[in-house]
Structure 1
């Protein structure tokens, strides 16, 4: 029996190595994850039928664990689509154009707006929205396109996405992979602080790098910029330049599709409502658009205050488990209904359902490949391995990753700083594939196993690994990630953008890791 267990551990470690190598080579990691799940299950059970069933069970268990995350993404996306039908998404950011009196102010405004939008709707729709609404005004104010690209990437793909504090996809995956699904909120809180530290350092160094290129305001800046390549041509050139096959999530394509939606004329809301027999939107769609442009940030700002209140006032009841994400998702669904009826009147009975379907499609396109990857790493955790291997209820399930860590306990430095930087490095390596989220099951699982050994809380390690994976692959350090979309919208060379961001981001990650070790 011991030999069989030894062979299972060996196969599992080979599977982990194959997935990490695939990420480092920028190959899609779904295939090695599925094959590794099959191999581990076959080594454990000795049955090809059981191993085949485990391949399905791995993705099924991952889907059960993570579906709440998919649903929140879908509902937030459906809300954005409903707001877009009224033009409310652009109305929310248009007032900021008036305050761009200089390139320095424009840099700060783009950072703030991109961060807020990305925090609620993710960077994928935030990038084209900022590019269409604020970027021309920022360039007229004297901000160079490279400075605008840095501001968008650092605030959106970096700060907002690495903490993912509102939608909580990343903290949820990290906590579940660490075997502590109830600690997702703790991981989110720590990741938020670390994202601020990393972002502050990166933004300061990035601003210092381009401040001398900021010029006096002038329309000729915009004329020169617009005389360059078209948006679609620029994106195509960027993709051809760095890699024909981007990482696990082709987010640049999603961003381009979002941009095409923004560039198109808004739908004739009133005519559509009248055609469907509705009268709500026909009365004053512009009024509804302006109203929702004001109400949406107020409502979600209130949610943030509600979620933060128990941390400031401990006597207040705190949200438990996944209640925070559920509250955000439920609010998004209700506001989507309001926006749909405002835009389409009685036809909203159909369009609201379409918005939800579109949101689910976007959610699974953006996150679907995480399921087989998470399934493999869930196979290494005792809490979920039994369900994947089809073991009877109550039967002892293997705890592969934790058992391997325990077997080499004497070789692991019992230094929180060394282990934290090791997890950070693993996270950065997993981000090389250009996805950002594909490596979170691995960094989460390592955090749960290494934390007790090194004397550092697993949630801290999970937050550190999340910083490394998302800042790297989410769209700041990898040229074949969604950074291509940022470079394409700003019409700057993507490789030059990577070189400009490299030192600021790495310095921020190092400092935030030191802060994590010192604080927790």
Structure 2
């Protein structure tokens, strides 16, 4: 396989990006310089190279637009349900089952996980935490324990798999050359393994310290957001609280019957969420309904583009490793090339004595490193690209490598280890985010080691 200067530059900037992430710096600047450098070498035109930086962003946004939109819509829906009081009615029956610290830990955790699958964890934190925290405190589970279970089940288990909305696996799959279905299928046993080990270890640690009085942290006064209607529990709110879960259940049934996957499944969920926004506003608000619909959609768009804004430059660089370079720059590689990543993988297969265990460990470490920026999203393109590279080198299962890297990136950077990623949960529960990160560290490390060993055993 013939390697060119472009291959060398691409590999050099991957190493630079990893180095920058190790030192907890944003790699966006390095990615943009990398795009410009590759474009300059490939086109030998300064003007075209400058334009390619912008066009690579446009290309990447076009590829990710469906993913960004579903997140925006889901967030808009969750804000409407929170402000209208519908979410409180939906959660209330569950609170009747919480009588002991153990019940509080597991019930709040599983509730958070289910809600996060449909709404994503950040929006789910607000309404679940506000409603269930007082119930948990009354049952004897400290605020720190509530934060840990919400964090591990939401930003850990649910977000690392993202089986319903599929925004996370879409990012990883695009970079690894897989379909979303392949990646989700490979990630299910790994998400289960990681989730079981981590949450069980955390549970025993929390129960031990709770009994000994080791985590009796003071709880700050929790201020519930009041709406214009003060969340009156009228028949409309109750009807919506019953109807919304049924609508999503019907979506899942429709996906099974009509075999909707990927973008089709996402479109169904997104359309349902938009209908819920419209219906909830029409039912629960008497004035300025048209204006409110726009306001909530703008809130969703603001959140979505804020989250994915940091992803665009990084994903744009890594899109050059696959078919994106041809679409962005034209035919700049040799005719025998199968793409930069594929070419590098083929060369590594003949020059470096990789084995599968080393490849699995390397995929996990890349995920951990990329998660150090505190977002979890920004490194998924790198996770997918390197998983493809490692798997090609040893003729292994790309989906397993990518799924493991994705899990590591989300658990570390998506909100369970890095303190600045824990602020929403910590704020709701009135605790120190650094203390929450410290308590999460041991269970998450145990889970990562166990899951990595599980992948090695699976072969």
TM over 0.5: yes
Cα offset for 1:128?
Answer: 2.3
Match of 2:114 in 1: 116
Cα offset for 1:113?
Answer: 1.4
Match of 1:374 in 2: 315
Q: Using the alignment, how far apart are the partners of 2:136 and 2:159 within structure 1?
A: 23
SS of 2:163's equivalent in the other structure is coil
Write out aligned runs for 1:274-313 (5 A). Answer: 286-307=234-255, 309=256
Q: Using the alignment, how far apart are the partners of 2:366 and 2:114 within structure 1?
A: 29
Over 3 Å counting, the alpha-carbon distance change for 1:395 and 1:317 in structure 2 is farther
Match of 1:236 in 2: none
Match of 1:209 in 2: 205
**Is 2:455 the partner of 1:513?**
no
Cα offset for 1:435?
Answer: 0.8
Cα offset for 1:485?
Answer: 2.9
- Judge conservation of contact 2:83–2:226 (CA < 8 Å) in 1: no
Q: Using the alignment, how far apart are the partners of 2:353 and 2:280 within structure 1?
A: 55
Q: Using the alignment, how far apart are the partners of 1:450 and 1:29 within structure 2?
A: 22
Write out aligned runs for 1:413-424 (5 A). Answer: 413-424=353-364
- Report the aligned-residue RMSD: 2.7
- Cα deviation, 1:454-503, whole Å, max 9, x if unaligned, reads 232222221111001001101112223x2133233333343333232222
Match of 1:225 in 2: 218
Q: Using the alignment, how far apart are the partners of 2:457 and 2:266 within structure 1?
A: 29
- Judge conservation of contact 1:70–1:364 (CA < 8 Å) in 2: yes
Over 3 Å counting, the alpha-carbon distance change for 1:497 and 1:509 in structure 2 is same
- Judge conservation of contact 2:348–2:393 (CA < 8 Å) in 1: no
Query: Taking structure 2 as the reference length, what is the TM-score of the superposition?
Result: 0.91
- Cα deviation, 1:50-98, whole Å, max 9, x if unaligned, reads 2111101211111111100011111111211222332112222223222
Write out aligned runs for 1:223-372 (5 A). Answer: 225-226=218-219, 228=220, 263-268=224-229, 286-307=234-255, 309=256, 317-344=258-285, 347-372=288-313
Over 3 Å counting, the alpha-carbon distance change for 1:49 and 1:42 in structure 2 is same
Query: Taking structure 1 as the reference length, what is the TM-score of the superposition?
Result: 0.81
Over 3 Å counting, the alpha-carbon distance change for 1:413 and 1:118 in structure 2 is farther
- Judge conservation of contact 1:57–1:389 (CA < 8 Å) in 2: no
SS of 2:419's equivalent in the other structure is coil
Q: Could you list the runs of 5+ residues in structure 1 that have no partner in the other structure?
A: 232-261, 271-283, 310-315
Q: Using the alignment, how far apart are the partners of 2:399 and 2:327 within structure 1?
A: 24
- Cα deviation, 1:179-207, whole Å, max 9, x if unaligned, reads 23xx1022123323322211110011001
Task: Give the counterpart of 1:49 among 44, 47, 65.
Answer: 47
Match of 2:155 in 1: 157
Cα offset for 1:517?
Answer: 4.5
Q: Which moved more, 1:152-161 or 1:191-200?
A: 191-200
Write out aligned runs for 1:63-142 (5 A). Answer: 63-142=61-140
SS of 1:459's equivalent in the other structure is helix
Q: Which moved more, 1:353-362 or 1:196-205?
A: 353-362
**Is 2:425 the partner of 1:486?**
yes
